[in-house]
């Protein structure tokens, strides 16, 4: 039997373990916000992995956003050493899940099995991927006990809220230093035959227009910040949106609509603050002296963040020329540089070869429209040899009745085991 076949039968022999592990993980409701049961899931995995020979460490991200005595930000890093020196392959999964939301017909934390699917919040994003990587490591360790280097498995907090209490914290502690870890796979749900090389960039900003308050019956005595903002939005429609649509990237972003630069206005608010639903009074007549929008600009690897920001400043200046009384402020809220691992990188090459060997078809290369924890591994960890690869359909993430297919998990676990064999020798 060749190695791929042996690894495949080692995974098949663990099919029930894989199902049980996925179910156990789903049944720990690690809701974020606020960050529930992080310690419980880390303790559970630490016990599971220590039984299989891993050294485990629980690391709390003290002082990270959201970290408190009630909701501590716990992370788990498990490591196993091979027989000889060599590279370290690291599987990083986030253990947090988003809110349940409405529209479920299954128990969100029941991990119900129906046909070849396991249902539950986090099944697809990404406890199925976490379980698949653990089983892949187990099958590899059994099949190739004499391997070189080391394997790490981490389960980290807060990916859904930016990753600052998770991968960013670990990266700051040097956990993703290229002298310590050489290859990283993040088993996010990106389809079992696709390799995700990276993501687009992000800039969030708040734009505020300023006017002057006056009585609403005599608006000519004031200066409406809402009308100034309306001019800003018209200018965006007329000049900025067409400009962004014309910028197309060479990055293989999916879905295809995200191959252009995009801009979303997340929110708009002007004038008096909104009252609660239980307030029964009438509003007062005032000219709005402030109007704010929050923009979410996603940019391409071909673009420069300074130019992206200058587009908005130029636009605001054009509006100001037409409306001399208007004033504005722009506040940066959040920014992430785009990242894309090269196709020639060792982790990409060995995963592509493993996909072909296991699934009998060529791997597709994709880039994510939004960011995920790869940003911290790249920017803080300075580690470029990183991809996202894992079971499940991205479209199901954060949806009601989220599920993961068992065959997707066994197939991608086989791919991951084969990647270990390729990178750590057999």
Where does this chain bind Zn ion (CB under 5 A)? 125-126, 188
Nearest distance, CB of residue 98 and Zn ion, angstroms: 9
Nearest distance, CB of residue 93 and Zn ion, angstroms: 8
Nearest distance, CB of residue 125 and Zn ion, angstroms: 4
Nearest distance, CB of residue 374 and Zn ion, angstroms: 11
Toward Zn ion, which CB reaches closer, 126 or 263? 126
Nearest distance, CB of residue 94 and Zn ion, angstroms: 6
Structure token pair of residue 360: 């009998």
Q: Which residue is nearest to Zn ion (CB)?
A: 125
Q: Helices 3-13 & 15-26, crossing angle to 10 degrees?
A: 50
- Rounded CA separation 30/15 (Å): 24
H helices then E strands: how many in the chain? 11, 16
The dihedral region occupied by 66, where left means phi > 0, alpha psi between -120 and 50, and beta the remainder, is left
- Rounded CA separation 377/179 (Å): 13
Toward Zn ion, which CB reaches closer, 125 or 289? 125
Toward Zn ion, which CB reaches closer, 67 or 373? 373
Nearest distance, CB of residue 314 and Zn ion, angstroms: 36
Nearest distance, CB of residue 54 and Zn ion, angstroms: 23
Toward Zn ion, which CB reaches closer, 139 or 167? 167
Toward Zn ion, which CB reaches closer, 161 or 262? 161
Toward Zn ion, which CB reaches closer, 42 or 190? 190
SS3 335: strand
Q: Helices 406-424 & 346-359, crossing angle to 10 degrees?
A: 130
Q: In what order do the strands lie in the sheet with 201-210?
A: 262-270, 290-299, 201-210, 327-336
Contacts of 96 (CB under 8 A, 6+ apart): 30, 31, 32, 35, 38, 157, 158, 159, 160, 161, 166
- Rounded CA separation 393/123 (Å): 11
Q: Are 415 and 389 in contact (CB under 8 A)?
A: yes
Toward Zn ion, which CB reaches closer, 153 or 315? 153
């Amino acid at each position: 039997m060749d190695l791929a076949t042996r690894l495949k039968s080692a995974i098949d022999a663990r099919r029930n373990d894989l199902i049980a592990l996925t179910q156990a993980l789903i049944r720990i409701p690690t809701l974020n916000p606020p960050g529930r049961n992080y310690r419980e899931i880390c303790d559970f995995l630490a016990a599971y992995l220590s039984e299989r020979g891993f050294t485990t460490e629980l690391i709390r991200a003290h002082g990270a956003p959201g970290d408190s005595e009630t909701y501590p930000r716990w992370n788990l890093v498990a490591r196993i050493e091979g027989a000889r020196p060599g590279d370290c392959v690291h599987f990083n999964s986030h253990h947090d899940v988003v809110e349940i939301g409405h529209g479920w017909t299954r128990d969100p934390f029941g991990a119900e099995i129906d046909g070849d699917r396991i249902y539950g919040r986090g099944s697809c994003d990404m406890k199925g991927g976490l379980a698949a990587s653990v089983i892949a490591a187990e099958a590899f360790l059994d099949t190739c006990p004499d391997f070189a280097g080391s394997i790490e498995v981490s389960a980290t907090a807060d990916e859904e809220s930016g990753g600052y209490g998770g991968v960013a914290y670990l990266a700051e502690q040097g956990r993703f230093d290229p002298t310590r870890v050489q290859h990283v796979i993040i088993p996010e749900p990106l389809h079992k035959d696709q390799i995700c090389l990276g993501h687009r960039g992000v800039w969030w900003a708040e734009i505020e227009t300023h006017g002057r308050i006056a009585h609403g019956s005599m608006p000519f005595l004031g200066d409406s910040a809402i009308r100034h903002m309306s001019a800003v939005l018209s200018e965006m429609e007329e000049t900025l949106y067409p400009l962004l649509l014309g910028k197309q990237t060479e990055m293989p972003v999916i879905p295809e609509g995200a191959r252009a630069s995009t801009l979303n206005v997340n929110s708009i608010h002007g004038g008096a603050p909104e009252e609660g639903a239980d307030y029964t009074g009438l509003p007062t007549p005032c000219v709005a002296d402030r109007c704010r929008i929050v923009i979410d600009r996603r940019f391409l690897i071909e673009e420069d963040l300074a130019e992206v920001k200058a587009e908005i400043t130029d636009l605001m200046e054009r509006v100001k020329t037409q409306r001399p009384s208007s004033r504005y402020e722009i506040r940066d809220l959040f920014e992430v540089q785009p990242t894309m691992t090269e196709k020639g990188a060792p982790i990409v090459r060995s995963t592509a070869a493993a996909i072909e060997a296991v699934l009998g078809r060529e791997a597709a290369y994709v880039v994510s429209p939004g960011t995920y924890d790869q940003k911290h591994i790249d920017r803080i960890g300075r580690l470029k040899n990183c991809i996202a690869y894992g079971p499940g359909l991205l479209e199901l993430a954060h949806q009601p009745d989220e599920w993961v297919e068992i065959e997707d998990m066994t197939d991608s676990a086989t791919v991951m085991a084969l990647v270990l064999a390729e990178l750590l020798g057999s």
